[in-house]
Structure 1
Amino acid sequence: MNIKTIRTNSKNKDFINLVKELDVYLKITDEDEHDFYNQFNSIDVLKEVVVTYVSENAVGCGAIKKFDNSTVEVKRMFVSLDNRGTGVAQKILQELETCAKELGYKKCILETGVRQVEAVKFYKKCGYKIIPNYGQYQGMENSICFEKKI
């Protein structure tokens, strides 16, 4: 399998299209809470974006955004359904962590939904530890937050 990962920004058309796929998926899994979560997912503020291609087809994406002076938040992680379990997500996350390190950050945090069972397993496998829900996710029963020192 020919996998290529590029760094780009939120204006990348492949990134925009993948985020649309992600939003369709999340609208189903987030159910009634989708609008709440969606308000925190504007891609305009994302400057550090990764898109992964398999045989020239965009199949996955992710981004980081500054949370504080030592921390970035991982946002908009997504791999198309037919490319899950192929190592694409790991490549995306590693590239985001490398980018964060290069920018001088010390840790990554993220939020996912308890209903995204595969995502929860994936982040644990990648060395992320569950932390108390931060920021807008405090008190959200369907949110689970993670961090990893990089």
Structure 2
Amino acid sequence: MDISLKEVDFRNPDLLHLITKLDQYLYEIYPADEVFGVDFSDPRIAEIIFVIAYDSDVPVGCGAIRRVDHDVVELKRFFVEVDYRKRGIAGKILRYLEERAINLNYGVIRLETGAPQSESIYFYKKHGYTEIERYGEYVACESSLCYEKQLSSSEDL
């Protein structure tokens, strides 16, 4: 398995395919009003950094970071195909996005998940994320669990 990462435009068909699969999964475990995606019609969509993990030419995972404020980015649309999980791909995507955030001078990366996603919670905690109060659009969502990680230099990742 030779996994490569590629930054892509938000219109990339492989990205849209992976996000569709992620959304299908999320709509199976959450009510529709508790699924927080990315608004592809938002004019600021081009500011989001999207990355796809490929096994040769097969798209197997994706993730993104979007700016929250001058010091904070949010991890979004993080997904790895079921058949490719537990192979280090998610960690590779996460490290890449954390490194991009550091290179853009962000100090904090945040994310939102939920209790039904216990594997995700374990993964984020394993990678140094700590639970925080709900923020932004998640404040009123009882099922939302929010996490953050302080970013420093690449040597600390």
Please state which band the TM-score falls in when normalised by the shorter chain.
over 0.9
Separation in structure 1 between the aligned mates of residue 77 and residue 123 of structure 2, nearest angstrom: 15
Any idea what SS the aligned residue of 2:35 has? helix
**Structure 2 residue identity aligned to 1:27:** Y
Deviations along 1:18-75, one digit per CA (max 9) or x if unpaired, are 0000000001011x2x23424x522452530110011321000000000010000000
The superposition leaves residues 56-113 of structure 1 with CA deviations (integer Å, 9 ceiling, x where unpaired) of 2100000000001000000000001111101110011111111111111111000011
CA distance in 2, matches of 1:35, 1:142: 11
- TM-score normalised by structure 1 residue count: 0.92
- The equivalent residue for 1:21 is 21
The one-letter amino acid of 2:2's match is N
2:75 aligned residue: 74
- 2:113 counterpart letter in structure 1: T
Q: Deviations over 1:116-147 (max 9, x none)?
A: 11111110011101001101211322110000
Match in the other structure for 1:52: 53
RMSD over aligned CA atoms reads: 1.3
- Whether the 8 Å contact between 2:53 and 2:62 is mirrored in structure 1 is yes
- Where does residue 35 of structure 1 map in the other structure? 33
Alpha-carbon distance between aligned partners in 2 of 1:84 and 1:108, rounded to the nearest angstrom: 22
Rounded Cα–Cα distance in structure 2 between residues aligned with 1:85 and 1:20 = 21
- Please list every run of 5 or more consecutive structure 2 residues that lacks an aligned counterpart in the other structure: 152-157
Q: Which runs of 5+ in 1 are unaligned?
A: none
Answer yes or no: is 1:129 the counterpart of 2:130: yes
Over 3 Å counting, the alpha-carbon distance change for 1:85 and 1:28 in structure 2 is same
The aligned residue for residue 111 of structure 2 is 110
Identity of aligned residues (%): 40
Separation (CA, whole Å) in 1 of partners of 2:40 and 2:91 = 21
Corresponding position of 2:120 = 119
TM-fit CA distance, 1:9 = 2.3
SS state at 1:148 partner: strand
SS of 1:101 mapped into structure 2? helix
